[in-house]
Amino acid sequence: MRRWRDWLPGLQRRLALPQTSLQLCLLGMLGGLIAAILIIIFRLAIIAIQLVFLDKADDFSSADPEIVWLLPLGGAAIIGLIAFITGYRHYRLGIPFVIHRIKTQYGIMPFRNTLNQFLGGIVALASGFSVGREGPSVHLGAYGASTVGRYLQLPYNSIRILAGCGIAAAISASFNTPLAAVIFVMEVVLREYRIHVFIPIMLASVVGALATQLVFGHDRELASLDIVAISIWHFPYLIFCGIVFGGVAFLFNQNLMRMFRWFKNWPLLLRLALAGIITAAVGFLIPDAMGAETGAIFHAVNNPTDVQLLLVIFIGKLVLTIVALGLGVPGGVIGPVFGIGIVLGTLLAIIPAIFIGDSSTAGTYAVLGMAGLMAATLHAPLAALLAVIELASNQQIILPAMVVIVTAYVTTVQFFNNKSIFMMQLDFLQMPYKLAPADDILQKVGVLALLSKEYILLNDPDDATLRQQLAQLQPPVQLLLRRNNADDTEFVAASYDVSLALSGDSAIRYQKVTGLSHQCTMAEVFALLEENREGLVYIYQENPHEPIGIIRWDQVRGLLVKQNNLL
């Protein structure tokens, strides 16, 4: 235990620097393993519950009609009960909440929110709501990996990276798409590309993929789709398909946000009850539209030319997804978007099938529909491209996917002015997710990286001792005074002030000094000193009354000037 305590401070100081390190890579892999274990338990629980009622996991068409409509009603009641037990104020869930916590709290996830997401997500997916498992997965992954950093009391800048590692491992373990998981974290969640962040996240994603392959095997969910190469003559039509995907993404995002606005003042239990009733009613008529994306894949494979069935499933899935997510059912948006895109792509494949005389390209168009709709809905074109490549396990999809993704993204952004559904939700919920340029830089550097030992600490000194120390002080050494009051202990910095001496007042100037934990970043220092643009803060480890060093304003200024000349 003593050796551990001796080793830990060095690790904390090393990880305060925004640099690639072996230690952070190993911790990222450990966080990724914890995240993957949570996701595996999550997935196994869903499958176990579904197999009690269904012949095949996520195939609600195989259940008795009486069961189909009872499942969402019972699921809504249980989700409401879980929310009541854990506390309604801990019901902010999903990827938007994780993005918010990454930007404002370094990825540290509250336990009750995570418990809500874990249990509620299991119930929602098991009972047939049209939500994705990636929403709970991202939340659980961030919690699992960031817990490692919290336990070791690592600097917050490294905990933020560990949270990203957990998210990547969780997505990788959920979909078996390690590369797409890495890009999703960088493109959507962290929204940055830095090598010291990229490397540990990549390793964590590998761990997540290996863990899920050990339990669920190497099969990919799109492996059943027959993906064939398409000739260059399809490309003009692919541009038209991309325009359709961009338009559908706009309609999806707008209607989902409309649901949020319409029912924002309804109590949670009423919203969940309404979601259960609508899902039960639509699911009773169209059971194929229930659940995540797996059912849509099954029908796209087996009925590629049945326009009526595919159209009914498309409309039903669109309605059920908007209702479930808009009314607060815990779950993600990516899974349903996959399903909707696959069905829409299969529908669009019918037109070229008429001209070429067969439906052999249906599987290819189904995958392209998934990629185009994901890119336009989430504003994640690169993640969409890599997801489709990995899920399809076929490189022939790359060129047509690039055409569809670019067309869909440009269409939805330029012609419909459509924003990412995650950013729209964050704006609606008034959860901050944007950082000022200075904060964005300073959050990446821990205070331990710039910790200064150039100070003298005096405990309740008398005037003679204080003046003697000030007379001997050599800049940049600072004089820190600890004043032990009856109620509390406070720290002040003492220095000579020539202007005070000329006015006849005491020549000694006192400035209150605030303490910050060793886990803080330079962003917290900047927040305290920015107004006066002078002074210092002291840093403590465990005891708030025992400084281990100081950070001066000139150090903050120097860091900003060095990085981007922001000050």
Q: pLDDT digits over 294-333, tens only?
A: 666 666 667 777 788 889 889 999 999 999 999 989 988 9
Q: Cα–Cα distance between 416 and 519 in angstroms, integer?
A: 44
47 and 147: one domain? yes
pLDDT at 510: 84
DSSP result, 46-109:
HHHHHHHH-SSTT-GGGS-HHHHHHHHHHHHHHHHHHHHHH-GGG---HHHHHHHHHHHHTTPP
Whether the link from the prior residue into 476 is cis, omega within 30° of 0, is: yes
124 and 21: one domain? yes
Task: Say if 437 falls within a structural domain.
Answer: no
DSSP result, 216-252:
H-S--TTTTS------GGGHHHHHHHHHHHHHHHHHH
Count of C-beta atoms within a 10 Å radius of residue 393: 13
Element (H, E) at 175: helix 156-175
Q: Model's pTM, two decimal places?
A: 0.91
Q: What CATH number should be reported for the domain holding residue 88? A: 1.10.3080.10
36 and 168: one domain? yes
> How many H helices and E strands in the chain?
24, 7
DSSP state letter for 448? G
Q: Cα–Cα distance between 10 and 261 in angstroms, integer?
A: 50
- Residue range of the domain that includes 539: 446-564
29 and 161: one domain? yes
Residue-wise pLDDT for 494-528, tens only, equals 887 766 555 545 578 888 999 999 999 999 999 99
pLDDT at 565: 46
pLDDT at 153: 92
CA angle, residues 127, 129, 133, in degrees to nearest 5:
95
Task: Say if 247 falls within a structural domain.
Answer: yes
pLDDT at 370: 92
How many Cα atoms occupy the beta-carbon half-sphere of 195 within 13 Å?
3
Count of C-beta atoms within a 10 Å radius of residue 61: 18
Positions of the chain with pLDDT lower than 50, given as ranges: 1, 504, 565-567
Q: Cα–Cα distance between 97 and 426 in angstroms, integer?
A: 8
14 and 62: one domain? yes
How many domains are contained in the chain?
A: 3
376 and 241: one domain? yes
210 and 243: one domain? no
Task: Say if 225 falls within a structural domain.
Answer: no
396 and 419: one domain? yes
pLDDT at 566: 46
